[in-house]
Amino acid sequence: MSVTELGREHATMRVTNLQPLLEVESLTKLYQPGKGCQDISFALWPGEVLGIVGESGSGKSTLLRVLSGRETPDCGAVNYQFEGGSQASLYALSESERRRLLRTDWGVVHQHPMDGLRPRVSAGGNIGERLMAVGNRHYGDIRDQALEWLSQVEIPTDRIDDMPITFSGGMQQRLQIARNLVTHPRLIFMDEPTGGLDVSVQARLLDLIRNLVTDLGLSVVIVTHDLAVARLLAHRLVVMKESRIVETGLTDQVLDDPQHPYTQLLVSSVLQG
Mean pLDDT, range 249-272, rounded to an integer? 91
Whether the model clears a pTM of 0.95, i.e. scores above it, the answer is: no
DSSP labels for 186-207?
Answer: SEEEEESTTTTS-HHHHHHHHH
- The answer to the question of residue 160 being in a domain is yes
- The answer to the question of residue 210 being in a domain is no
User: What residue type is assigned to position 230 of the chain?
Assistant: A
- The answer to the question of residue 32 being in a domain is no
Q: Answer whether 109's CB lies under 8 Å from 77's CB.
A: no
Number of domains in the chain: 1
Note the pLDDT tens digit of each residue in 34-73.
899 999 999 999 999 999 999 989 999 999 999 999 999 9
Residue 265 has pLDDT above 90, yes or no: yes
pLDDT given at position 154: 92
* Residues ≥6 apart with Cβ < 8 Å to 11: 47, 215, 216, 217
- The answer to the question of residue 41 being in a domain is no
- The answer to the question of residue 240 being in a domain is no
Note the pLDDT tens digit of each residue in 94-111.
999 998 899 889 999 999
Confidence of residue 8 (pLDDT cuts 50, 70, 90): very low
pLDDT given at position 271: 60
Residue 16 has pLDDT above 80, yes or no: no
- Average pLDDT score, the chain: 90
129: containing domain = 118-184
Q: Answer whether 22's CB lies under 8 Å from 64's CB.
A: no
- The answer to the question of residue 244 being in a domain is no
Beta strand ranges found along the chain (DSSP E):
22-32, 35-44, 49-53, 75-81, 87-89, 106-109, 187-191, 219-224, 236-241, 244-250
- The answer to the question of residue 176 being in a domain is yes
